[in-house]
Amino acid sequence: MKPMTRTLSTWMALMVGMVVAQSSLARDLPDFTELVEEAAPGVVNISTTRVTEGYSTPFGNFGGQEIPDIFRHFFGDRFPVPPGGGGGGHTEERQSLGSGFVIDADGYIMTNAHVVEGADEIMVRLNDRRDLKAELVGADEKTDVAVLKVDASDLPTLSLGDSDDLKVGEWVAAIGSPFGFDHSVTAGIISAINRTLPRDAYVPFIQTDVAINPGNSGGPLFNLDGEVIGINSQIFTRSGGFMGLSFAIPINVAMDIADQLRSEGHVTRGWLGVMIQPVSKDLAESFGMERPEGALIADVDPDGPAARDGLEAGDIVLEVDGEAVERSSSLPRLIGRVAPDSEVELSVLRGGDRQTLTVTVGDWPEALAGGSGESSSSASPARLGIAVQALTQAELGKYGIDAGVRVSDVDPRGVAAASGIRPGDIIVSVDQTPVESGRQLSQLVRELPADRAVPVRLYRDGRSLFVALRLADD
């Protein structure tokens, strides 16, 4: 009996210890009640209406969409469709929901640009249940920031924090209207900072595990001091709902955009006029770098600021005004925040040597989103595994390049194919030496060292890019 008594006593002690530890842990968790009480009045719900032209049929309104095949199967060409396939007579209203927050007591509200995109009417519901019609002051698609104005005064505003001081692991909370449920509160931690997402080169996103769902877009992200440190903007999802990957626009970035929209009605951002690509491990080796870093200049706009001030294709930008360019995605952001007509110092790697160039940044152009004679064929060495064709002067002029040969065939088992070279590519340079002809390419390939990557510049589908070519031993 005594051993059993000791065992029970030990278990009881362990259970009491666990309860005490859990109670202590619960006391250490953040309490968001005070934050929510103070911040909630400054958070708003946003609804938009978009009017689209459509038409009606005896079987209902399809809003200008294609008639379902099931009806065409039974009615064929006798199906009653207006001339021209639709449009005319009927309008359809589509509503979307989002969130926002007050940044100025005189009625200025911040939200996401995608929340109000294409809206014919914007309504803002305040915390006190007032519904006010809003005017769009301005929106910037590249950063997904928009500013609205409602006819009101003495609105409750939110305190703004400093998103440059954020640390991974700190607690954050969001208030918004997921699926239309006003002033829902969720919390979590910052999972990462300075995230770059596809097609969003100008925003160093804050990644969190805060539950964000449709309707949260445009709402504020708070730190534990109740300060707004971001705008909830995007989620990564395969189901359409929250999966633990949420992304917010840093408030410092958003306020810079908002200030420009309020004062100028539009946003200006720096522009170099270059096409860039990441520096892979093989490309880094081919350029003589110890590790992959920087942004590789694949092409230069001949009329842009970079070309004017000496930046060349093949340069690798390592720093902008002393700030390291760790990844190629960092360069657009660093240049974009520079005021047009301002000078920046670029530290670049060219031909294995590091040098500094001073470039006067231009203004992002509004337009950007984004023959005679026979061609002779020449087979390049077997160790490369391609066949090429010479280009005429007219073709060179058409593509805007000074030299190059077109790849007419690629051995799928060769080293060129392994490096990513495809039929139709134009080889502009090999190891930063311009390729004038197939014969010269053959000579260059024969002189290349074996088992060492070299950079090859290509022209493909209207753009330039580099690949790393690694030749095997013969």
The answer to whether residues 276 and 314 touch, using CB atoms and an 8 Å cutoff, is no
Active site residue 266: no
Catalytic residue among 56, 90, 104, 114: 114
How far is it, in rounded angstroms, from Cα 404 to Cα 328? 26
CA distance 413 to 60: 58
- Residues β-bridged to residue 175: 185
Which one of 47, 99, 144, 315 is the catalytic residue?
A: 144
* 139 Cβ contact partners less than 8 Å away, ≥ 6 residues apart: 113, 116, 117, 145, 146, 147, 261
> Which residue is catalytic, options 99, 184, 217, 380?
217
Which residues touch 378 (CB under 8 Å, ≥6 apart)?
A: 387, 388, 389, 390, 405, 437, 438, 439, 441, 442
Residues in CB range of 92: below 8 A, 6 or more apart: 51, 52, 54, 61, 63
Could you tell me the maximum CA-CA distance found in the chain, to the nearest angstrom?
106
Question: How do the residues of the chain divide into helix, strand and coil, expressed in percent and rounded to 5?
Answer: 25, 35, 40
- Within 8 A by CB and 6+ apart from 121, the residues are 48, 49, 133
DSSP class per residue in 402-467: SS-EEEEEE-TTSHHHHTT--TT-EEEEETTEE--SHHHHHHHHHHSPTTSEEEEEEEETTEEEEE
In angstroms, the CA 258 to CA 110 distance is 8
Backbone phi, psi, residue 199, to 5°: 70, 15
- Assess whether 114 carries a catalytic annotation: yes
Coil, strand or helix: which one is 150? strand
Of 208, 213, 147, 209, nearest to 181 by C-alpha is 213
72 contact partners, CB below 8 Å, separation of at least 6? 79
Instruction: Report, as residue numbers or ranges, the catalytic residues.
Output: 114, 144, 217
